[in-house]
Structures are given as C-alpha cells and as structure tokens.
Structure 1
Amino acid sequence: MVTMSEVARVAGVSQSTVSHVVNKTRRIAPETEKAVKAAIEATGYVNDGIAKSLRTGKTNSIGLAISAMSNPYFGEVVHSIEKHLSDLGYSLVLADTHDDPERELRAVRDLLAQRPAGIILAPSADPHEALRQISRRGIATVLLDRVPEQLDPTQPIDAVGVENTEAMSQLVQHLAGRGHRRIALISGRSGLRTSIERTEGYLLGLERSGIRPDEDLIRDGHSEAGPAAQAIKELLALPSPPTALITANNQMTIGAMRGLRELGLRVPADIGLAAFDDFEWADLFDPRLTVMAQPVEELGTLAAEMLIQRLEHPELKPREVRLAPRLIVRDSGGSRN
C-alpha cells in the first residue's frame, strides 16, 4: 500500500506538504501542488479517510447545528458555509436544533459521535450544556448568529454575528422620521441573544426619536410566522393601535403580512412596515419592503474561515466578530408627515 511518505519522496517535498495538498488544509504554491499531484498519480496513492479518523479521532467533516433550516435566512447561511468548506476539502454534516435546548443537546451529541474536526453552532437561548459537551471533547467551535455576552477565554470558541442593536435603532428612527409615533415591534423568540439585542435596539431607537415606549406595542412573535400573525391581530385591536410596525426576522414578516391581509389592511396606506432580514423577493412585493439586510453570504463564509483558522491555530484567543447590516429603504414604511 502506497503511503504519504512515499508520495513525499517522489515529489521531493515534506510529508506535511503532501498532507496539506491532499486534505486542502493550507494553501500550497501552485508549482509544489502540481508536483504533489503528479506524484500521487504516479504512485497510485489513495487518501484513506477512515484510517486517518481512527488515528486522529476526527474525520474531515464539520458539524453544523442550526435551528429552523427551512428558514430562508439560515438556508442562505448554510449554503455559504458549505461552499467555503467544500472548497477546502471538508464535508458538512447538518443537525437541526429547533431552537430548543434539549434538541440542541441531542443534535450536538449526534454530531460529536461522528467525530467532526469542528462544529459551527447557532446556539439556542440556553446552550450551556451543549457547549459543555463540546468543550469536554476539545472540539474547535464557532458560534453563529447568536453571539453570547461574553466568551470563555479558556475555551476554544469563537463567535460571529451581526450588529443588532444599532441596526434595529436605525429601523425605528427611519419610521419615526416618516412621522410615525406609534411604532410596534414583533420580537423574536424569548431568550435568544438576537431577540434581546434587537429589542434593546428598538427601545434605543424610540429614545433617540423622542418617543415614550409603550409595553403594549411589543409582542413576542416566537420567531415564527403563525405567532407573528396572531401578534398583528392583538396589536391592531388595541384602543390606540400602531401606525407602523417592525418585524424582527423574515419568518415573522411573512406572518405579519398574512395577518394584515386577513384584517383587510394595506401596507403602507393603512400601516407602515419595516423588517429585519432581507428577502430574495422583498423588492418584488407591492409595496416593496423596507428592510435591514444582513450580510448573509459574508456571515457564513466568515464562520467557516474562523473555524479553519481555529483548527490550524488552536492557541488563538477566543474571537468575536460583528458584521454590519445595511438599511435598504423601499416603499413599505409609509408616511404620517
């Protein structure tokens, strides 16, 4: 059986260089890579991934534990992660956490049983036990989308997400600038870091706009379409209903629009609407939706890059990166001026 060391001898390079070419774990000079590939063809070497996993205790796969993979937002993030990792020779193993701590823990345990090289996790509202299981195994980890308040400097865990507070404040100020004073928020699932930060941003935007907050105008949409539609009906039944509303993710935007249609209300003639998350089809609606667009492709690519960096340099201190969303003003905000 041809070994990697024999390939290295024929190519005139080190065995580690052959390993990087075979496993695509580091960029190699084109001339060197060409020589290694020629030696592989000449010797008939076959990379035995199973044997490698038995020796190292890890495979060439990356585990991705994420909630609501049917959500278009997460679907785009997954696609970006998979593309980047595939280009580097890694395969992606998906597990759906359903944003539930118990199912998240089962998903993480299932992934760990497959001996992944690393894990990317979009954490639930209470990911502590899942993270403890990962830490016990010393698996390189990147937290995606939901960034914790503070990373443990003793654990090899990085985090990447978007800036939520300032972005949501901008959405509120945009609607206030169009004359709206009764601005409602349909927030995400309680306890999620994104939900907390976006609610904080909503309150900050009201303060900056000189608007007194009203607890009746904040409703929990549970990050899903159905509860968001119900929240719309509750909001519009108030003695002093909102003139504009903000939905804190794309699934809730769909639910809110369904609820408004069922009530016979038009956007923006009867009520203004702005949404956190862009859609591929957001500018095809009539009216076109005003949104805070998250850098979805960049988010997924960066999560994958940070994990690879962690695998190559496990001594790195934990890192947190926040990407800036972008306000796209279209027609749905309406005006009370």
Structure 2
Amino acid sequence: MARKPTLRDVSRAAGLSVYTVSRALSNGDGVSAASRELVLKVARELGYVPNRAAQELRKNTRSSVAVVTASTSNYYYIDLMKGIQRTLRLSDRTAIVADIAAEGVYTPELEDATIQDLIQSRTAGVIATLTLAPHNMKLLEDWDIPVVFVDSIPHESATRVPSITTDNFSASMKVGAHLGEHGYRDWLFLAYPARWSTRAERERGIRAAALKYGAGIEVIESENDVESAYATLTAYLDTPGRALPRAVIAGNNPMLHGALRVLHARGVRIPDDVAVVAFDEFAWAALLDPPLTVLNEDSETIGVIAAQTLTRIIDDQIKAELRGDPPTPAYRPEDRRELSSDLIIRRSCGC
C-alpha cells in the first residue's frame, strides 16, 4: 500500500514551514492569502488529508458530531440526517454516522466499541437514535461529551439528558382511529424489537385504539430489518387456519418493506383484501400502487431541533472553558421535547 502523504511532505512541496502549512490547513491566522492558496493546492495534488482527530486533541475545537443510528435501512434517518447536517453547517461542524445495528440486529458489544471509538476521537457531541446503556452514558458524561436523543428516550437514570421525540402514543391513536372509522375490526401490528424505545408507546397507542373501536389486535415482533420482517409475517400467515388480517400496521419502514413483499407475493390486494398503514413518511410513498397512508413524524424537523440543541450545549462548553470553568454539559428542562405528528391519508388504507 502506498505511503500516505504527511504534513511534512506538503511543507517540502510548498517550500513553507510545517508551522505555516499547519496554520493554513486549519484556517488559522498569520498566513497570507497567497500562501494559504498554495498550501491548499499542494495538499490537493498530493492527496493529503489532515488528521482531524489529532487536531481535535490539540485544539479542542469541538467541530465533529457523531450521530449514533440503529439500522440505517430505515428511511426515517435520511430526512433526520438532512436536518442535522443542514443545522450543523451553520456552525461549521460536521456529522459522522455510526450505525450500531447495521443489519437491524443490535448488539451491546458493538455499542460499547462505538462509544469507545467516539471518545477516543474526541467527538464534540452525540445525537443518539437508540437508548444507550447506562455505563456508556456514564463514560460520555465523564468525558464531558453531551448527548441528545432523537426517536428514543434516555435510560431512566439519565434524568436530565435532552430528547427530541414524537408523541408516539397519540400518533398510534391517530392510526387506530382511522382504521376504526373504516370499520376494520381485525388488526395486525408488525413491530420491531422493544430495544427501540419508541416501540412501547406505539404499541400502547395501537392497543388503546383497538379497545376504543372494538377491534381485535395481534402484535408480532420481528428483528428490525426487511428480511426478518418478511420471514416473521410469512411464518405468521402460514400458520394453519390463520386468516388474513383486515388491516396491517407496519411499525416502521423496514417492517413495511417486508410486509409489502409478503402481501404482493401472495397476490393480496391492497386495500381491498388488506388495508396497510405504516409509520414514517418516505419520499416515494405517494408513488406506490396504491399510494401509502403513513404516519409522518417529520424527522427532518426533529433533526434540526436536535442539532440546534446540541450546538447550543457545545457552544456553552466552549464559553465555559474560555472562562476557566469546567466544560460540563449544561442541560435544560426544555431540552426534552415531544412533538406531534400527522397522518397522511392516501389509498392503501381504503380511502
């Protein structure tokens, strides 16, 4: 493997001191515009990439934020990241993504390793989409790394940590009310594991709506990926004597994808035979046949609010350090927010 160019290589090629090259690459003061342009040109030609982690250790500029996700196959995260990145750019910060359930299966070992890596790289802060283990929260706290949760809630021991979530109980009640108004009385909720904290309130809302409208409700659990959802629903429907439910509620995008594959493979007509409603809007939901009725959480707005909250906390830490005070994250009660959602009615529900 070819040797990677170093800062000293750029210095030699540019005919400037290592100090000047370092200042130019970090956009520091005391470097002329001509020298800065020369250094950037030489660095591009050599393929030199600054070691940002090492710079963070020396300068503590707090410029990189980690977004810890859990199964990026969920389209929810696409709009979430759009909101996060757009907001972080306003403060010249960047976001990196660490997926601790890439195949839809969570393991505590991967969570532990990920948190260790983030601490070693001195990430400025963390936006987490999955409830982190208490010992990992303690590690982040010990290193003064602030955390904001989205689409999940902190462990009960983390009483002050911010969270930006959807009111999932009310969201599920909206879904159930719509199915009830259609007169459907046999519902199936295809759910992801309870390790994802949104599951509990979504299921509670669906069950409450079923009770209110006199519907029967079955809940089946799948791992949080498309193939598992397909296999889980297939096994359920293959049970001898099992009839098709009148309505299927998919707990998220991977559950929806798996459910649609099963129904299409069996020639089930949507919504004539089975109505389908899903959580989380996605870009082409309206383009499917039939167009899908979905619960829209507006994850882009959630991402914006989470990034704004984290940015404020990090900026306050920098100010504290300049005053000579400890950079302990300063959380506020209003940093815990629960947002409303909208049911987007299309045709898959029978409308």
**TM bracket (short chain):** 0.7 to 0.9
The corresponding residue for 1:113 is 120
Q: How many angstroms apart in 2 are the aligned matches of 1:42 and 1:259?
A: 61
> 1:45-60 to 2 correspondence within 5 Å?
53-54=56-57, 57=60, 59-60=62-63
Aligned length, in residue pairs: 293
Q: Does structure 1 conserve the Cα–Cα contact (< 8 Å) formed by 2:192 and 2:199?
A: yes
The corresponding residue for 1:89 is 92
Matched, 1:137 2:137: no
- Unaligned 5+ runs, structure 1: 1-21, 24-36
The corresponding residue for 2:347 is 331
Letter in 2 for 1:160: I
> 1:280-295 to 2 correspondence within 5 Å?
280-295=283-298
Q: How many angstroms apart in 1 are the aligned matches of 2:89 and 2:157?
A: 28
Matched, 1:315 2:318: no
Q: Does structure 1 conserve the Cα–Cα contact (< 8 Å) formed by 2:293 and 2:345?
A: yes
- 2:67 is paired with a residue of what secondary structure? strand
The corresponding residue for 1:305 is 308
Q: 1:50 to 1:234 in 2, by over 3 A?
A: closer
CA offsets, 1:2-61, max 9 Å, x none?
A: xxxxxxxxxxxxxxxxxxxx99xxxxxxxxxxxxx9x99799999x98897345646421
Q: 1:43 to 1:152 in 2, by over 3 A?
A: farther
Matched, 1:253 2:256: yes
Q: Does structure 2 conserve the Cα–Cα contact (< 8 Å) formed by 1:93 and 1:111?
A: no
CA offsets, 1:307-333, max 9 Å, x none?
A: 012123443335311121110111111
**Offset at residue 152 of structure 1 (A):** 2.7
Q: 1:85 to 1:246 in 2, by over 3 A?
A: same
Letter in 2 for 1:334: G
Q: Does structure 2 conserve the Cα–Cα contact (< 8 Å) formed by 1:183 and 1:245?
A: yes
The corresponding residue for 2:324 is none
Q: How many angstroms apart in 2 are the aligned matches of 1:122 and 1:143?
A: 6
Q: Does structure 1 conserve the Cα–Cα contact (< 8 Å) formed by 2:253 and 2:280?
A: yes
Q: How many angstroms apart in 1 are the aligned matches of 2:117 and 2:155?
A: 27
Q: 1:121 to 1:208 in 2, by over 3 A?
A: same
The corresponding residue for 1:181 is 185
Q: How many angstroms apart in 2 are the aligned matches of 1:249 and 1:333?
A: 16
> 1:143-162 to 2 correspondence within 5 Å?
143-148=149-154, 150=156, 152-153=158-159, 157-162=161-166
Q: How many angstroms apart in 2 are the aligned matches of 1:57 and 1:112?
A: 13
The corresponding residue for 1:229 is 230
- 1:104 is paired with a residue of what secondary structure? helix
* Percent identical residues: 27
Q: How many angstroms apart in 1 are the aligned matches of 2:53 and 2:235?
A: 57
Letter in 1 for 2:151: D
The corresponding residue for 2:134 is 128
CA offsets, 1:181-218, max 9 Å, x none?
A: 0011001123321111111111111122133x45xx21
Q: Does structure 2 conserve the Cα–Cα contact (< 8 Å) formed by 1:289 and 1:331?
A: yes
Q: 1:210 aligns with which of 209, 214, 220?
A: 214
Q: 1:196 to 1:134 in 2, by over 3 A?
A: same
Q: Does structure 2 conserve the Cα–Cα contact (< 8 Å) formed by 1:172 and 1:183?
A: no
Alignment root-mean-square deviation, CA: 2.8
TM-score using structure 1 length: 0.78
- 1:138 is paired with a residue of what secondary structure? coil
TM-score using structure 2 length: 0.75
Q: 1:43 to 1:127 in 2, by over 3 A?
A: same
Q: 1:208 to 1:177 in 2, by over 3 A?
A: same
Letter in 2 for 1:107: T
Q: 1:223 to 1:51 in 2, by over 3 A?
A: closer
Q: Does structure 1 conserve the Cα–Cα contact (< 8 Å) formed by 2:256 and 2:278?
A: yes
Letter in 2 for 1:189: P
